[in-house]
Amino acid sequence: MDKFLDSLKGRPVDASIDYLVSLLKRRQIQGSESCALATAHILLQVVARDKWSDVNQLLERVQTVGRKLVAASPRELTIGNVVRRILGLIRDEAQEDRNDANNDGSSDVLPEPPHSAPLKLDSPPGKPIRPTMASALGSLTRTQSMFNILADPDVAPSFLLDGTPAASSGASTPLAHGLATNASALRSEVLDGIEEIMDEIKQVDDQLCGYSDIVIHPGDYVLVHKPSRTVQRFLTRSKRRFTVLVVTDPATVTAEDPYAILRKSLAANGSTLINVMNTGLMAYMTRVNKVILSARAITATGGITVDAGAAAVARAARASGRTVIVLGGVYKLSPDTQANQDLATEWGDPSRYVNFSDGAMVNNVRVKNAVSEYVPAELIDTYITNLGAHSRDHLHSIITDHYKDAEVSLDLYGKIRK
């Protein structure tokens, strides 16, 4: 990741894109946060260094790059999320500019409504709201109809769009006139916006931590599955005394404790950590109070993609009536859905458990190893994002706050999924 960021400066944009695509394909950059940041960085380069004279050209360009990146790692939904966010950002900035230009007399733009504030309601106190987003809401003229809220996200509601150009073409006409002059102003505004998105992604962990004391009670037994950095920080931030059961990664069994640092910082609060070396967690569920999972991505229907093995944990927790809590920044919340669960599982390196030198296994047996898998929404109780704790039904409104319809219906996947 660092190497990639270093290489950005020296290369032409196209070379960097290809480099990132190959890194993503080889899974040398993986994990939702890295993928999201890498995407933001490369699009920053695209906006800053590519030659473009009007918005449509830029939108087109960003979409093409976005498709390439998504195709390189189609199950990292965050890549698509960031691409969509940036597209939305560009459209907003462009529309603002146009509003300014056309303010005197032209009637095709509806008057700007006062800032609606669903975003503010969710935000934790003291958390700065991205100004671009707030203004995006303001300039977004579409009212939230009941139909919109209830609409099945599986069906792209492209016919609903009023004012915004329909669907994926991106070659929209209303934005076209008289924008070339503002290109440089627009460029700097978009760049600021992308920087803000990157900051948002980086701050997620800190913001999530604020909820740990609400979730964790004294004396709890909390089960976590291969805790990501987010979850580890979430646990250490709690001032309570509790017990953490950590489901470890069986492939990396070593003599030393894989979570020694986490154990140490938990011990400072009097909490204990137990490394559980079982794949099946049903045996422990009578003991466990709640399960905390970190999402790789959260889909619009509330299902999440997680590291392989976590689905079994979630299922066990649900079967025993334990609470399943999902952590993940808003940037992981995707307007996409994983309608087909089978496709949502990513298969990878079979040598994790089976040695390639083992001829009998390699020749005759079909070895499968999942890298990530999908947890259906029914198994999850609560989602905690940097904006707060949400129920499944509330995810829709967060999505509408963060993505414009044009982006939601944008098909970044092309033929990959079909």
Partner 1 sequence: MSEQPNGAPAEGQGAPAPAPQTPQQQPSEKNAAPAKDKPAEKSGEKKLTGAELKAKAKADKAARRAQVKDRKEVSKAEAAVSSSPQQLGPAASEVKGKKGKDGAAAGQGGRPLLPKTVPSAVITEQKVQIPECFSHLSMAKRIPMTQADKDVHPSVLALGQQMATFSIDESIARLKATLLAFKRVIQSYTTPPGHTLARHFTPHVLNPQIEYLTACRPMCFSMGNAIRWLKLQVSKIDMDASEEDAKRDLCLAIDTFVAERITVADEVITEAGSKLIRDGEVILTYGRSSIVERTILLAQAAGTKFSVFVVDDPYERQGQQLAKVLSAEGIQVSYCGDFGGLTNHMRRTTKVLVSAEAMFSNGSLYARAGTCDVALAANELHKQVVVLCETINITERVSTDSLTYNEIDPERGQAGAFRLLFDTTPDKYLQLLVTELGTVQPRSAPDLLRKLEEFN
* CB atoms inside a 10 Å sphere around CB 255: 4
**Position 358 contacts partner 1 (CB under 8 A):** yes
- Residue (12 or 250) nearer to partner 1, CB: 250
Q: How far apart are CA 165 and CA 156, in angstroms?
A: 14
268 touches partner 1 by CB under 8 A: no
| 315 forms part of the interface with partner 1 (CB under 8 A) | yes
- The DSSP bridge pattern shows strands 388-390 and 382-385 to be antiparallel
Residue 223 CB, nearest approach to partner 1 (Å): 12
Residues 271-300 as x/- pattern, contact with partner 1 by CB under 8 A: -xxxxxxxxxxxxx-xx-------------
- Are 350 and 368 within 8 A, CB to CB? yes
Q: In the complex with partner 1, which residue's Cβ is closer, 142 or 315?
A: 315
Provide, rounded to whole angstroms, the least separation between the CB of residue 309 and partner 1: 5
Segment near partner 1 (CB under 8 A); pick from 26-34, 151-159, 253-261, 293-301: 253-261
Residue 243 binds to partner 1 (criterion: CB under 8 A)? yes
Which distant-in-sequence residues (6+ apart) come within 8 Å of 29 by Cβ? 1, 4, 20, 23, 35, 38
Residue (159 or 347) nearer to partner 1, CB? 347
Rounded Cα distance, 318 and 312, in Å: 10
353 touches partner 1 by CB under 8 A: yes
Q: Is the C-alpha dihedral spanning 122, 128, 130, 134 positive or negative?
A: positive
End-to-end Cα spacing for the chain: 30
Rounded to whole angstroms, the Cα distance separating 327 from 293 reads 6
CB of 30 to partner 1, least distance (A): 15
Q: Does 339 bind partner 1 (CB under 8 A)?
A: no
Number of neighbouring beta carbons within 10 Å of residue 178: 12
Among 18, 113, 195, residue whose Cα is nearest residue 8: 18
**Choice between 2 and 342, CB closer to partner 1:** 342
Q: Can residue 316 be called a binding residue for partner 1 (CB under 8 A)?
A: yes
Question: How many Cβ atoms are within 10 Å of 261's Cβ, its own excluded?
Answer: 11
| Interaction between residue 255 and partner 1 (CB under 8 A) | yes
One of 368, 393, 415, 418 touching partner 1 (CB under 8 A): 368
Q: In whole angstroms, what is the distance from residue 230 CA to residue 295 CA?
A: 10
> x-or-dash pattern for partner 1, window 177-216, by CB under 8 A?
----------------------------------------
List of residues contacting partner 1 (CB under 8 A): 221, 243, 248, 250-251, 253, 255, 257, 263, 272-284, 286-287, 308-309, 311-312, 315-316, 319, 341-342, 345, 347, 352-354, 358, 360-361, 364-371, 373
